[in-house]
Structure 1
Amino acid sequence: MIRTFISLGSNIEREYHIHAAMTELKKLGVHFEVSRIFEAEPVGFSGPNFYNCVVAFETSLSLSVLQQTLKQLELDYGRAPDAKKNQSRTLDLDILLYGDVQRHASPTLPRADIYKFAFVLWPMAEIAPELKIPGDDRTVAQLWNEFGTEQALWPVDVVFEESHESL
């Protein structure tokens, strides 16, 4: 089993899509952990605010199967196959880490978003503060403490009515 970290984001019917993604991701592994949900302003374009979070779980799926599964989930939940970066989306699922794998081919691991976006790093710091990023001697908590970019981001209390679980 490999521990993987996935970022989730949505700014179209965001409660529905984040909840649906979590439900689907729970089918892919065990020992599922999830950060709080954060609301963030879009980066690089104008549009509705996003809901973002990070989940971690252990999976027996290979990296390529996991990547294909996430892309299929995005399509199943309404993301256009030719969707561009920096636009509104129903669901965005990105592999941040896959065990200790480091690679420069797609998917690039560790994903650079860990270092660039508060909406990835803060939620990740909640569930794995002592984790060291492969190829980096710093922990996630250290990276978050050193994070200097101003990005509007705040935790929200979201309650999913179907399950009555608060995230």
Structure 2
Amino acid sequence: MAIIYISVGSNINAEYHVCAGIKALRELYGDITTSIVYESDAVGFEGDNFYNLVVKVTVDDDVETVVINLRIIEDNFNRDRSGPKFSSRTLDLDLLLYDDLILNKPHLELPRGEITKNAFVLLPLSELAAELLHPIEKKSIGQLWREYDKASQKLWPIEISC
């Protein structure tokens, strides 16, 4: 069994797609733990605001199976992969951590680089795993959040009804 963390995000009909993503993850994996949902400006392009959160799950699946399952869920909600990397998303599910596994493959980087680069990933992850040691940085997720330049990306908690 492995403990994994998944970022969930959307900026197209965001509340619907975030809730649908959470529901799909519950149907697939059973019991999940979710962070607070945050709203933030689009990063890297002009677009509608994003809703983001992080989900903690215990899985029996290997890492490749998890990634395939996340892609299937995204595809079920019409995720368009033909556009630029930074663009609007119906549903974005990214595997952030799979236990303390370190991978650097063309299709999979673990831990995911966005953990240390984006407040909308790091803050909700720190809510669920403040004491967890980042496998590469060798600092706790909580410490990484405390050291993060919070003025660089604004985000604010929101309530949604899932």
Q: Amino acid of the residue matched to residue 33 of structure 2?
A: E
Are the equivalent residues in 2 in contact too, given 1:28–1:59 (CA < 8 A)? no
CA distance in 2, matches of 1:81, 1:139: 33
Check if 1:54 corresponds to 2:37: no
Give the Cα–Cα distance (whole angstroms) in 1 for the partners of residues 131 and 78 of structure 2: 35
Q: Which moved more, 1:87-96 or 1:26-35?
A: 26-35
Give the TM-score of the pair, scaled to structure 1: 0.91
Structure 1: unaligned runs, 5 residues or longer:
161-167
Helix, strand or coil at the partner of 2:65: helix
Question: Higher mean Cα deviation, 132-141 or 52-61?
Answer: 132-141
* Residues 57, 3 of structure 1: alpha-carbon distance in 2 compared, 3 angstrom cutoff: same
SS in 2 for 1:73: helix
Structure 2 unaligned residues grouped into runs of 5+: none
Could you give the per-residue CA deviations for residues 89-112 of structure 1, whole angstroms, max 9, x where no partner exists?
100110000011101113110000
Letter in 2 for 1:137: K
Instruction: After TM superposition, give the deviation of residue 75 of structure 1 in Å.
Output: 1.1
Shift of 1:17: 0.6
How far has the Cα of 1:11 moved from its partner? 0.3
Pair 1:12-2:19 in alignment: no
Superposition RMSD in Å: 1.2
TM, length-normalised to structure 2:
0.94
SS of residue matched to 1:33: strand
| Equivalent residues of 1:30, 1:59 under 8 A apart | no
Q: Provide the residue aligned with 1:159 in structure 2.
A: 161
In the alignment, the residues of structure 2 paired with residue 155 and residue 42 of structure 1 have an alpha-carbon distance, to the nearest angstrom, of 15
> 1:9–1:51: 8 Å Cα contact kept in structure 2?
yes
- Single out whichever of 34-43 and 147-156 deviates more from structure 2: 147-156
Q: State the distance in 2 between where 1:98 and 1:28 align.
A: 17
Query: Aligned residue pairs: how many?
Result: 160
The answer to whether residue 21 in structure 2 is matched with residue 21 in structure 1 is: yes
